[in-house]
Amino acid sequence: MKSFRNRHKPGHKASDFFKYLGPGLLVTVGFIDPGNWVSNLAAGSSYGYVLLWMVTVSTIMLIVLQHNAAHLGIVTGKCLSEATTENIRPWIKNIILLSAVAASISTAMAEILGGAIALNMLFRLPLQIGAIIILVVVLLLQFTNSYKRIEKIIIGFVSIIGLSFLFEICVVHINWGSAMTGWVTPSFPLGSMPVIMSVLGAVVMPHNLFLHSEIIQSHQFNLQDDAIIQKELKHEFTDTLFSMIVGWAINSAMILLAAATFFEHGTVITDLSQAQGMLKPLLGSAASIIFAVALLFAGLSSSITAGMAGGSIFAGIFAKPYDITERHTKAGILITMVPAALIILFITSPFQVLIYSQMLLSIQLPITIFTLIYLTSSKKVMHKYVNSKLDKIFLWSIGIIVTGLNIALLVSYL
């Protein structure tokens, strides 16, 4: 499949839903990436189970935003980048989309770095060599595989990550009573705001909104048939809900693991290598290796989706859809991935790089969120599928909260 924009006749079997599974899982890997690992391990090791509620809240916000992005793609047949180019003044459009490309580069840098750290854990490879290996593997997957194959690869990676954390949880003692309370009870321990905001910032990421509005069209049918659009919207929401719950479970598992091991031993984790090193004496070498393997697949899968997002955004600047055979898409992927890897070649502090990448995302995220809300609230763009008043209340509330917390996160780093 060269481009996502194919048209087929819809089926009517209940089992058709399974044909729609996939786009949401590709988005999910964006918030189980190495940046999330750092935030979640810091949350669990510093505060135990009490910040689990932040994973719940941020996932709910993410479901609403991702559904809205997919809604745009289904109704208009265009991704967020293309819709921005078509409906927003050129100079404003360029600011929005070029900043989104920069955010994708920042995201890819963190993802590649996470994969390189995993290779260092497993094979003692220097980070610079590991980064080049991850870059080459990711580019080969992106340029030689169709979307459907990449979707299957990503689903496989997510399964490995999930099974890895399931194993990790099975070998530690979880206080499930405290965990249940933590998931549903907001709590703000002294000094926890930077960690709370970093968890949110690591879950709600701008490139994922662009990506979901594009890849949802891999299952696109006849846009002229309202019944088909309604069916698409229904199946998309179920796919998004299922996939985000998978992401919620994996992110929760990271905090549970950190709370049951590091917090119980009074160890605060601020670095992925530190976490892997501490697991070995606490849980054995198998747990340590599985941790590194899961991180490797998280880095690979999130690097793939970061590159796809960059390709989609850059192609959209020229009013083109994502198409791996088309030069704008290819250029967008290379512009995203190559600079990200090159930056890693010159870093001295991996942890600082993750912080700086989060800062850039914090700056760009409000721009993407409010662009999305503007487009999906426009009758000119969405016609009768425009956001309802209730939709607008939810979206604007989430946008304001996410923006406020991300600004606070940026200020805390500065």
Tell how far CA 58 is from the center of its chain: 12
Q: Model confidence over 49-87: pLDDT tens digits? A: 999 999 999 999 999 999 999 999 999 999 999 999 999
User: Distances in Å between the alpha carbon of 369 and those of 61, 106, 216, 305, 345?
Assistant: 11, 18, 18, 19, 32
pLDDT category at 137 given cuts 50, 70, 90 is: very high
Written as one string, the DSSP assignment of 242-299 is HHHHHHHHHHHHHHHHHHHHTGGGT----SHHHHHHHHHHHH-HHHHHHHHHHHHHHH
Long-range contacts of 3-6 (CB under 8 A, 24+ apart): 3/321, 3/322, 3/323, 3/325, 3/326, 4/147, 4/214, 4/215, 4/217, 4/218, 4/220, 4/321, 4/322, 4/323, 5/77, 5/217, 5/220, 5/321, 6/218, 6/220
Residue for token pair 């991180």: 295
Residue 106 scores a pLDDT above 60: yes
Tell how far CA 254 is from the center of its chain: 16
Q: Which amino acid is at 139?
A: L
Residue 339 scores a pLDDT above 90: yes
Residue 1 scores a pLDDT above 50: no
pLDDT category at 146 given cuts 50, 70, 90 is: confident
Let me know: does 97 contact 315? Beta carbons within 8 Å. Answer: no
User: How far apart, in whole angstroms, are the C-alpha atoms of residue 47 and residue 268?
Assistant: 9
pLDDT category at 150 given cuts 50, 70, 90 is: confident
Contacts of 25 (CB under 8 A, 6+ apart): 151, 154, 155, 158, 243, 246
Domains and CATH numbers, the chain: 16-413 (1.20.1740.10)
Let me know: does 47 contact 269? Beta carbons within 8 Å. Answer: no
User: Distances in Å between the alpha carbon of 104 and those of 74, 108, 305, 358?
Assistant: 23, 6, 10, 11
Write the DSSP symbol of residue 323: B
The candidate with the shortest Cα–Cα distance to 142, out of 32, 298, 305, is 305
pLDDT at 2: 45
pLDDT category at 408 given cuts 50, 70, 90 is: confident
Residue 375 scores a pLDDT above 90: yes
The residue ranking higher by pLDDT, 212 or 3, is 212
Q: Percent of the chain, pLDDT > 70?
A: 91
Residue 161 scores a pLDDT above 70: yes
Residues in the chain: 414
Burial track 151-160 (b if 16+ CB lie within 10 A, e otherwise): bebbbebbeb
pLDDT at 369: 96
The candidate with the shortest Cα–Cα distance to 72, out of 175, 210, 165, 181, is 210
Residue 378 scores a pLDDT above 90: yes
**Average of per-residue pLDDT across 105-117:** 93
Residue 298 scores a pLDDT above 90: yes
pLDDT at 33: 87
Q: Model confidence over 207-232: pLDDT tens digits? A: 999 999 998 876 655 566 777 787 78
Q: Is 50 helix (H, G, I), strand (E, B) or coil?
A: coil
Q: Which amino acid is at 393?
A: I
Q: Model confidence over 261-297: pLDDT tens digits? A: 999 989 888 778 778 777 777 677 888 899 999 999 9
Q: Model confidence over 14-63: pLDDT tens digits? A: 556 566 667 888 888 888 888 888 889 989 999 999 999 999 999 999 99
